[in-house]
Amino acid sequence: MDNIMVIGAAGQIGSELVVELRMRYGGEHVFATDIKQAPPDIMEGGPFQVLDVMDDKQLIHFIIRHKINQIYHLAAVLSGNAEKLPTQAWKINMDSLMNILEVAKMVEEVKKVFWPSSIAVFGPTTIRRNTPQLAVMEPITVYGISKLAGERWCDYYYNKFGVDVRSLRYPGLISYKTEAGGGTTDYAVEIFYEAIRHASYDCFLGEGTSLPMLFMPDAIKATIQLMEADRSRLTIHSSYNIGGMSITPAQLHKEIQKQIPGFSIRYNPDFRQAIADSWPQSVDDTIARIDWGFEQKYDLEMMTKIMLNEIKNKLNT
C-alpha cells in the first residue's frame, strides 16, 4: 500500500481529499500536513503534522522518514490574495512546487505527484467559450502566471527526469466543509452562507459573470481518478482541462431563491471582476474524458440543494 502525503490538508480541497483518501487507502497511510492546524477530523483520522512546504530540508526529512510514495501538493495563494502581495505569492506558489518536483526527482520512492493548476492559466486573449486544452495563454494575474509557469515545470520534469506529475486545471470549486480564501470564484461559496445567515448577499462580481464551476465531490473524484489512472493512458503532462458547469451569480441567486424565496442580492463588482472577465466561461474537457474517464455528476440544482442543507446543519439554523 502506498503512503500518501497531502500538503495543504487544512484547505478547501485538502480537508475533503484527506478524508476520501483515508477511506480508500486506510487512515494510517495518508499523512496530512499543513502550515497550520487542520479541522479535528483531519488531525485525528490519521497522521497529521504541521509542516512548511517552503522548508525543503524539513520536507525531504518528512518524506524519507514516512516512506512517502505519493504527494498531493495543494498549498497555494489564490488569485485575489495574490494580486495584493504579488512577489510573495509568486515566491510561495513557485518555490513550493519546485521543492516538490526536486524531491520527487531525488527520492526514488516518490512515484507520483499531484499539483493543481487552474482556469487562471488562460487570459483575455484566449477564446472564452469551450476553451480548448491547447489555446493562447496570456494570464494577467500573478496567480495565473504562477500556474502557467508551474504547468511548464511539471511538463519539463516529466520529460527531462521522468517525474510522474499529474495535474488538473480546476474551475471554481464549490464546497461546504472548508471555505476557500482569497479566490475570485469564492463568491459562489460565500453566497450560500450569506443566503442562510442574512438572506442577502453583496456580490463582488457582476450578475452576468459566467465562470466554470465544479462541486467538490466531483473535483475530489476527478483528482483521485487521475492519480489512479494507468500512466500509459495519460497524454497531457502539463495539466488537464476539466469543465464543470458555467454559472453566473444571477443563476445562483435564482436557484437559491427556490428554497429561500426572500433571498436578495446586490452587485458591487470589485477588482476581481477584471480577473473573472479574463477567464474562460466554459472549458472543453474532451481529453480528460477520453484519457481517464472524467465525468461530472452534480448540476446546479443538485449542488444547490446539498450546499444549503449542509450549511444549515453546520450553522445550526
What is the contact surface with ligand SER in residues (CB under 6 A)? Answer: 78-79, 118, 120, 143, 170, 172, 183-185
Q: Could you tell me the smallest distance in angstroms from the CB atom of residue 180 to ligand SER?
A: 6
Orientation angle between helical segments 86-106 and 142-161, nearest 10 degrees: 10
CA gap 222, 289 in Å, rounded: 10
Q: Which residue is nearest to ligand SER (CB)?
A: 183
* Residue 214 in grid coordinates: 465544479
Residue 90 near residue 45, CB atoms below 8 Å: no
Active-site position among 72, 143, 158, 176: 143
- Three-state SS for 187? helix
Cβ closer to ligand SER: 120 or 165? 120
Active site residue 25: no
Question: At its nearest, how many Å lie between ligand SER and the CB of residue 182?
Answer: 7
Nearer to ligand SER, 167 or 185 (CB): 185
Q: For the chain, how long is the longest CA-to-CA vector?
A: 58
- Taking the CA atoms of 92, 95, 97 and 100 in sequence, report the sign of the dihedral they define: negative
Residue 169 or residue 253: which is nearer to ligand SER going by CB?
A: 169
Based on CB atoms, which residue is closest to ligand SER, 16 or 45?
A: 16
* Residue 206 contacts residue 249 (beta carbons within 8 Å): yes
**CB atoms inside a 10 Å sphere around CB 156:** 15
Residue 120 CB, nearest distance to ligand SER (Å)? 5
Question: For the chain, what percentages of helix, strand and coil (3-state, to nearest 5) are there?
Answer: 45, 15, 40
Minimum CB separation of residue 152 from ligand SER in Å reads 17
Which CB, 46 or 139, lies closer to ligand SER? 139
Residue located via cell numbers 496567480:
143
Backbone angles phi, psi at 23, to 5 degrees: -65, -35
Residue 267: left (phi > 0), alpha (psi -120 to 50), or beta?
beta
Show the cell assigned to 173.
470549486
CB of 61 to ligand SER, least distance (A): 31
The residues annotated as belonging to the active site are 143
